[in-house]
Chains A and B, each alone.
Chain A
Amino acid sequence: MLFSRFFRNNTVASFLISAFLLVFTVAQASANKPVSTDSTAAITAEVGHEEEKFSPVEMIMHHISDAHDWHFFDLKGADGALHPVSIPLPVILLTEGKLDIFMSSGFHHGHSDVVKGEHTYRMEHGKIVEASGLSFTDFSITKNVASMFISVLLLIAMFGAAGSSYRKNGLGAPKGVARFLEPLVVYVRDEIAIPNIGEKKYARYMPYLLTSFFFIWINNLLGLFPGGANFTGNIAVTLTLAVFTMIITNVSGTKTYWRHIFKPHVPLWLYPIMIPVELVGVLSKPFALMIRLFANITAGHIIILSLVSLIFIFKNIALAPVSVGFVLFISCLELLVAALQAYVFTLLSALFIGLALEEPHPEQEAAH
């Protein structure tokens, strides 16, 4: 009600939006200061203030990779050394049947070892190793896992509120967050689920399609925040999502679907080619889903980080308007990509499910 007075004027609206986006990208630029490992920082403190060559690859890989703490930025302390500002996250390791749980702050950013009973853990280049070479299973709450928890809480809060508002107010015009979510849910149902899966069977698959759409979208968006985690750009995550699609597709496969894979409608001499091709197709379609989402999101983050690091490569603040301008443009593109990749993942999942649910055509019935 109050905001409509502002937004009736288009110039005010566009100014506010561009100011917001500008603040965003400047915040990203200042958050992405060069990150040095603490060993080099210690050396710098000893030798005196030395000009350290900025490594964009190191900075970019640090931002894209998973970590055992949520690192935001480094502060230059009174002694000239860089002190990292980060939130430590729990480390949960299963070594030889024993569960060791501790906070990653125990590592002091790679400076100390953590001793738990007989096991001594060391942090080397962000990875945890056991001092005597024992192998362990890592169940830690890393940055990506913590980001997933945050996104899950957000989704539960949004959709829980929407659901309860329907329960309270009935199925009339929605109130509250349901007003925002209903067109999106209806879009997934009418444009993605029903055209691909069909009127009769789409309802069973709606929970999965809605989950994949909103989960991927919200995690893509959270990754675009300065200091956000690159969750959907982690190939293990996209692998899991693609495996879900693969399981759902093949478990829903009808007899016709499997018959077309193992007895395609081609002459008999083509079977040695067609059957391996069809079987590879069963695997390659989810594989493409996985790679598409991973590569799009990671590439987007790499581009943004590279453009920001232009300022640090040239060591010239005068480059900042150009760099921030580019980053602004690419960030807007990434907003589109965030929604688009969620849409494409969900659309292709629905398409594959629909293909698996195919019923025999009447003329094929006669042939069989």
Chain B
Amino acid sequence: MTITGIAAIGAGLAVLGAGLGIGRIGGSAMEAIARQPEATGKIQTAMIIAAALIEGAALFAVVVSLLVA
């Protein structure tokens, strides 16, 4: 259980969190588009922005793992 190994696990957990978060956003975006197809453009834009912000948070953790390992 070296530090490098733990850092790799940490990075994996971070990506897990990002995947869950963006998956939820994608899911609710799909439902919203299904309910109101004419708002697709706005929903897509908001979805992309939220995904970028969540990626930012996940990449904080990746940066920390890179620093450690």
Contacts and interface: CB of A to CB of B under 8 A. Distances in A.
Interface in B14-52: 48-49, 52
Most B-side CB within 10 Å, residue of A291, A294, A343:
A291
A190 to B, nearest CB: 13
A344 interface: yes
Contacts of A306: none
A288 interface: yes
Contact of B59 (A295, A340, A347): A295
Secondary structure type dominating chain B contacts = helix
B63 A340 contact: no
B48 A340 contact: yes
Contacts of B59: 291-292, 295-296, 299
Interface string B55-69: 110011011000000
A341 interface: yes
B49 A347 contact: yes
Contact residue range for chain A?
10 to 19
Contacts of A294: 63
B52 A340 contact: yes
Contacts of A292: 52, 55-56, 59
A260 to B, nearest CB: 23
B53 interface: yes
Interface string A255-299: 000000000000000000000000000000000100110111001
- Identify which of A294, A295, A296, A344 gathers the most chain B CB atoms within 10 Å of its CB: A295
B60 A295 contact: yes
A344 B55 CA distance: 11
Contacts of A347: 49
Contacts of A295: 56, 59-60, 62-63
Contacts of B53: 344
Nearest to B48: A340
B56 A288 contact: yes
Contacts of B49: 343-344, 347
Contacts of A299: 59, 62
A344 B52 contact: yes
Given A344-B49, A347-B49, A296 B56 contact: yes
A344 B48 CA distance: 10
Nearest to B60: A291
B65 to A, nearest CB: 11
A38 to B, nearest CB: 27
B41 to A, nearest CB: 12
Give the 8 A-B CB pairs with smallest separation, nearest first: A295-B59, A292-B56, A344-B52, A295-B63, A340-B52, A291-B60, A296-B59, A295-B62
Given A292-B56, A295-B62, 19 more contacts: A288-B56, A288-B60, A291-B60, A291-B63, A292-B52, A292-B55, A292-B59, A294-B63, A295-B60, A295-B63, A296-B56, A299-B62, A343-B49, A343-B52, A344-B49, A344-B52, A344-B53, A344-B56, A347-B49
17 contacts: A288-B60, A291-B56, A291-B60, A292-B56, A292-B59, A294-B63, A295-B62, A296-B56, A296-B59, A299-B59, A299-B62, A340-B48, A340-B52, A343-B52, A344-B52, A344-B53, A344-B56
